Amino acid sequence: MIISNFLNNHNSRWMSIELAANSPTEQNISLMKKTNKIILSTRQLKFISKTIINKEKCKLLVFGVGNDSGYWHKLNRHGVTVFLEDNEKWIEKVKKRHKSIKVYKVDYKTKRKDWKELLDSPDLEKIKLPDKVVNKKWDVILVDAPEGWSDNKPGRMKSIFLSSKLVKISGDVFVHDCNRQVEDIYSNKFLKKRNLKIEIKSFFGNLRHYQINRTLYG
Ligand SMILES: C[S@@+](CC[C@H](N)C(=O)[O-])C[C@H]1O[C@@H](n2cnc3c(N)ncnc32)[C@H](O)[C@@H]1O
């Protein structure tokens, strides 16, 4: 009985991801969100999905793994998808479920409480990233990590800054939780207010879409 419940849950989670990745309609995404307990809203997932699908062989970089990782990996099956994650437990959890996803461990070495000093500090650039991440320009970047919901969490200062360095000109950057101060200030500084296209609100965090139309630097 308990085993069959487990298998049913496991199968429905897996099947709903397959279904949404093959046919990302609102209904399928909503079902996948519910069965997999994904935090991003259905509207947010659908909007990001559309952007990915519209690129030919999309190079997709995602800051953070979670219950949505298998979906991004499957949706972007004709392109390249790479995840960056600081939490070993979440890496193990997601890799157990989706063996073929590519995740690199990163260490931000930051605390959210230091966000003001970091804003204009050369330390913002200090982080070790794999060559396979640095040597590419990415079509779509999703920033939904690291954790930034309290002062003792790492905060998204470096991930937002890095997204501005790694995105292609004409690429798209999505930043979740922009209703929070650090995400708001860092996104507007490094991705530029003029590039902000839309903010999709949700009780669990607002998602901003920045479309990078010309160089952010120089
Ligand atoms: C906000 S979560 C990313 C969630 C995912 N994009 C989603 O919509 O479900 C950001 C970080 O928290 C951890 N995490 C991932 N999924 C989580 C979840 N469902 N609940 C709590 N923490 C999670 C991971 O370390 C991840 O890098």
Residue boundaries of the structural domains of the chain: 37-211
Q: 71: Cβ below 6 Å to ligand 1?
A: no
Q: 155: Cβ below 6 Å to ligand 1?
A: no
Of 13, 17, 67, which is best to mutate to test ligand 1, by the most ligand atoms within 8 angstroms of its C-beta?
67
Q: Topology of domain 37-211, per CATH? A: Rossmann fold (3.40.50)
Q: 67: Cβ below 6 Å to ligand 1?
A: yes
**Residue closest to 53 by CA, chosen among 23, 11, 87:** 23
- Please state whether the predicted TM-score (pTM) of the whole model is above 0.85: yes
Q: 154: Cβ below 6 Å to ligand 1?
A: no
In this predicted structure, what is the pLDDT of residue 84?
Answer: 98
For the chain, give the percent of residues with pLDDT over 90.
91
Residues 60-119 pLDDT 10s: 999 999 999 999 999 999 999 999 999 999 999 999 999 999 999 999 999 999 999 999
Residues 132-158 pLDDT 10s: 999 999 999 999 999 999 999 999 999
